[in-house]
């Protein structure tokens, strides 16, 4: 599936939930499905700076395809990063760099989060794009 198709699938899944409690539970559930990040990857260089909670993001690139792993010390924040991991993991690095991630606005999450948590969504997206850019430029050298 393309990034756009992954985004649409996620947005469609969210429409099944009628209130924000159910949607939060769904997002938290996505976070719980993320594989545990090894302790060795929970380093300061993997932290996303500026997030209220600790969020670790590790990225690898094999044959131009991004592999993202993430974790957080907060269940809602882990769910938030899981949204991006579900959409961007397994995608070509250049596609991640060019991706329009405004789908997150269409989830309605930002309106129901504290400002610091809403800001974290932008930081997560930016960090993932930056890592993809780094890997895309490394592979073209």
> Model pTM?
0.91
Catalytic residue among 28, 51, 57, 104: 51
How many structural domains does the chain have? 1
Residue 136 has a pLDDT of 84
**CATH number, position 37:** 3.90.1010.10
Q: What percent of the chain has pLDDT over 90?
A: 66
User: Could you report the per-residue pLDDT of 66-78, keeping only the tens digit for each?
Assistant: 999 999 999 999 9
DSSP 8-state class, residue 101: -
DSSP 8-state class, residue 123: H
Catalytic status, residue 51: yes
User: Could you report the per-residue pLDDT of 78-93, keeping only the tens digit for each?
Assistant: 999 999 999 999 999 9
Domain enclosing residue 70, as ranges: 3-139
**Angle formed at CA 71 by CA 65 and CA 74, multiple of 5 degrees:** 150
């Amino acid at each position: 599936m393309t990034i756009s198709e992954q985004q649409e699938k996620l947005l469609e899944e969210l429409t099944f939930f009628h209130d924000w409690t159910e949607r939060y539970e769904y997002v938290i559930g996505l976070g719980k499905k993320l594989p545990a990040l090894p302790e060795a990857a929970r380093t300061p260089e993997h932290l996303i700076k500026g997030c209220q909670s600790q969020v670790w993001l590790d990225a690898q690139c094999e044959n131009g395809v991004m592999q993202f792993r993430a974790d957080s010390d907060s269940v809602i924040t882990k769910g938030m990063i899981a949204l991006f991991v579900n959409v961007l993991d397994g995608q070509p690095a250049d596609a991640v760099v060019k991706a329009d991630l405004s789908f997150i606005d269409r989830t309605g999450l930002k309106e129901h989060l504290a400002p610091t948590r809403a800001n974290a969504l932008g930081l997560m997206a930016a960090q993932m794009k930056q890592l993809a850019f780094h890997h895309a430029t490394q592979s073209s050298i």
